[in-house]
Structure 1
């Protein structure tokens, strides 16, 4: 397993790049998942622009908020100087655990101030080069132009939702020690929380930019399934503990072609330093495989349905995928006294909502079709 990108590059290529120690393997794949989502959704939105489903329109040129422009530049500059410059200058001391440093209050006030001033000066120079604002100007807005900001909105709301649902699932721990929220903000993330809250954020931002919510859902379904598979790669390659229960059963003869590690695995050198007494089901491997297969199916059928239906099919597939794996995953036995895990409850709800949604969207589409 590779706790950091440094470990992966060193093992695979034999190259030591100490700067990569700052990049956690799980975080690397999460970032990659967001980039993949943005790329796939951009392709689909551009296709819908080309076939006329999504049309460009005129948007007013907004007057720049100079105060916010300067404040944001100063904040970014200060953080870069306070943390990153200090990390570079003291990397030999901090390289063993750069993540702990990044989450600490340690840093360089001097470099923070210097870069804050530098970023503010750069912003001033950029704004001086721009033509003066003229009231009433408009520009042609294409829906795919919002994808950069949309990805940022999805990341923020998805992360918040993933944390929220995790702590709802482990509510007793939160009540005992509320500071658990801040001990390690990048661990304890629940997929379904990220999915639901991220989707809500995306729909809000898309609606704000004049994109029909059903069209946005259909564009997002295949992309989210692909992103889920990429994210699970982070779980597997980092060994983040999101694996299965112990698997001591011998591999069946009919699966003799399957590598031993795909049947039972002990996740050596995992990011938590846990030494497993017995091998476990490598559930991330199964979820990666299912996610990529489902993505391929969704991508191949994406042009065949009434608006909204494709996302409902995604919902059903996602629910089936997660429900099918829960019985061999490490999970709390129950959720709030119910004989199902939180993920199983949400999975069943997703399948039901997906089925109802298919019926509803088809009915609406037929009623509007002459």
Structure 2
């Protein structure tokens, strides 16, 4: 596992760049997922614009003015924060043992911060100065939906992160009450569906403001969303963020070895479970070892064991027992009993679903139907993977679903309703036009 890019570069290239400790592996892949989604969304919006399904918005803008004091101040502050915190972290190196704590502290590099702030402000002044006219004028320009992808990504990132944190803390209320500040500021602990719901609401308001068809935007964004989810799950797998499956009782971790598992009978599994009882009682929040969820599945001989039983060595959440011989490292734990690597399953499945939606996008002529299919397949995928995932369960009328299972079922129902309602409305519209 690579909790952050420092460990990846150290293992792959043999270099010790302490500044890379700041770039968490999970966050890195989330950033990649947003870039990939922005690219796919831009392609789809341009296609819909060429087909006449989406139009431009005329916006009046003042051009030819020099940089205002507010613009210069904003750019100075952005440059200062980048230099003071981010570059300051790289310069601090090994002195910043905990990069996350460094970012949220008052520590930083003042000379670099001030210097970069002045540079940013100067570049803004120069940019505006080159475009300055003797007499500023008002011009009307056309803004197409694909020109707003940057704004859409920022809205999705901001409100998606906010929603993901809110839903995660609602799902893990006891942990939140124990340490609310850490729960809110931590980069780990994100619930995808919470982010999806909050981001969708924010983007809906944005499209209303800028007169973009929300239905066509949803169809355009469907392939992008499932691809972003696939890439984001790579981050979960690489970092080992705790978003893994239940125990695979067919195996146990080999003592004294890193990420090595061996087949175990019931007695061996139960013995290992008992010897780490406190850890598993806390992890699964159960009162008795017998309540710890597990499934016994042996890997076929033609597949590697880790596809069914993975120990997540050096995981970013430091869950499990210490790896023998791991000294002077912040992340030295692995799981005593391997689990199903569900993030890997979701990465592969979601990418296949992306290919499906990408293939269907030109064939689904009725607005809203492609997004309906996205909701259905997304909900089905998540519902089934929840059967082997570790998650908090609720008690509702004798049933014990997880938060994700509840939302997944709602997505399937909502997606099916959207699909059939969209087809019905389109058919009615066609009949009206014929009349």
Partner of 1:124: 125
Which shifted more, 270-279 or 167-176? 167-176
Which runs of 5 or more structure 2 residues have no equivalent in the other structure? 251-295, 320-333
- Kindly report which structure 2 residues correspond to 1:157-196, keeping only aligned pairs within 5 A, or say none: 157-182=159-184, 184-196=185-197
Deviation sequence 1:195-217 (CA, Å, 0-9, x none): 11122223332333322000000
- Kindly report which structure 2 residues correspond to 1:65-104, keeping only aligned pairs within 5 A, or say none: 66-94=68-96, 96-104=97-105
Checking the alignment, whether the CA contact within 8 Å between 2:80 and 2:113 is kept in structure 1 is yes
Partner of 2:152: 150
Checking the alignment, whether the CA contact within 8 Å between 2:240 and 2:315 is kept in structure 1 is yes
Report how far residue 319 of structure 1 moved: 0.6
Q: CA RMSD in A?
A: 2.3
Partner of 2:303: 258
Report how far residue 130 of structure 1 moved: 2.1
Residues 142 and 298 of structure 1: CA distance in aligned 2, closer, same or farther (over 3 Å): same
Report how far residue 219 of structure 1 moved: 0.8
Instruction: Tell me the secondary structure at the aligned position of residue 58 of structure 2.
Output: strand
Partner of 2:248: 247
Residues 297 and 259 of structure 1: CA distance in aligned 2, closer, same or farther (over 3 Å): same
Partner of 2:257: none
Residues 88 and 331 of structure 1: CA distance in aligned 2, closer, same or farther (over 3 Å): closer
Partner of 2:222: 221
Partner of 2:49: 49
Partner of 2:212: 211
1:292 corresponds, among 340, 346, 351, to: 351
Distance 1:311 1:117 in 2: 46
Checking the alignment, whether the CA contact within 8 Å between 1:169 and 1:335 is kept in structure 2 is no
Distance 2:122 2:395 in 1: 53
- Kindly report which structure 2 residues correspond to 1:345-364, keeping only aligned pairs within 5 A, or say none: 345-364=406-425
Partner of 1:331: 391
Checking the alignment, whether the CA contact within 8 Å between 1:240 and 1:270 is kept in structure 2 is yes
Residues 361 and 11 of structure 1: CA distance in aligned 2, closer, same or farther (over 3 Å): same
Report how far residue 251 of structure 1 moved: 4.5
Deviation sequence 1:306-355 (CA, Å, 0-9, x none): 10111111001111111101121111122689621111111111111111
Partner of 1:202: 203
Checking the alignment, whether the CA contact within 8 Å between 2:298 and 2:308 is kept in structure 1 is no
Which runs of 5 or more structure 1 residues have no equivalent in the other structure? none
Question: Given the alignment of the two structures, is residue 276 of structure 1 paired with residue 339 of structure 2, yes or no?
Answer: no
Report how far residue 40 of structure 1 moved: 0.7
Which shifted more, 338-347 or 16-25? 16-25
The structure in which a higher percent of residues are strand is: 2
Distance 1:173 1:91 in 2: 31
Distance 2:350 2:218 in 1: 18
Which shifted more, 317-326 or 72-81? 72-81
Deviation sequence 1:37-74 (CA, Å, 0-9, x none): 10111111111122222233432225789354233212
Q: TM-score, normalised by structure 1?
A: 0.91
Partner of 1:304: 363
Distance 1:16 1:53 in 2: 52
Instruction: Tell me the secondary structure at the aligned position of residue 339 of structure 1.
Output: coil
Distance 2:83 2:18 in 1: 20
Counting matched residue pairs gives 367
